[in-house]
Amino acid sequence: MFKDHHYLSGDLNKASRCYIGVWEDNIVAFGATLTLPNGYLKNAWRGHRTVVLPQYQGLGIGVRFSDAIGQIHIEQGHRYFSRTSHPKMIYYRENSLLWKTTSKHRKIRVDITHTKVYNNHYADNKRLCGSFEYIGFN
């Protein structure tokens, strides 16, 4: 239902934790998260996919759905990170009290060497992305 609507790829990691967003009894959004194995971070997760069906885009569903997924992880005792190249999501998070930027924010990722192209978009070493940690409600 969502695989053809993600700008990078419809592929989904088999280890992902999946979520759906429902509005007025309609499934409108899909999200997936993955653990973030890292020698410095403990109990961390990251966003893997956020997709809103085209007929529901532009209504603010994606950013609020992403907030809700982040809040779920915070309430489970996890740290939650997300990186995006979507301009409106970057703007929202830069101006939200629920998110803080990370050291990788708006930087070309020289630590990533792949240059695979999905639907005319280059992978992370060719795109400036917003990198964030969800800090949630106080």
CATH number for the domain harbouring residue 97: 3.40.630.30
What local confidence, expressed as pLDDT, does residue 16 receive? 87
Across residues 61-70, what is the average pLDDT? Answer: 96
Number of domains in the chain: 1
SS3 22: strand
Terminal-residue alpha carbon distance, the chain? 35
pLDDT surpassing 90 at residue 12? no
Across residues 64-89, what is the average pLDDT? Answer: 93
Residue type, 113: T
Residue pLDDT, tens place only, 67-79: 999 999 999 999 9
SS3 73: helix
Q: Which residues pair with 80 in a beta bridge?
A: 45, 134
- Nearest Cα neighbor of 132 from 13, 65, 46, 69 is 46
Q: The domain containing residue 86 runs over which residues?
A: 3-134
Residue pLDDT, tens place only, 111-128: 655 554 444 334 455 566
pLDDT surpassing 60 at residue 51? yes
> DSSP letter string over 81-131?
EEEE--HHHHHHHHT-TTEEE-TTTT---TT-----EETTEE-TTSS--EE
pLDDT surpassing 70 at residue 8? no
pTM for the model: 0.80
> DSSP letter string over 29-54?
EEEEEEE---SS-SSEEEEEEEEE-G
- Nearest Cα neighbor of 41 from 72, 84, 15, 79 is 79
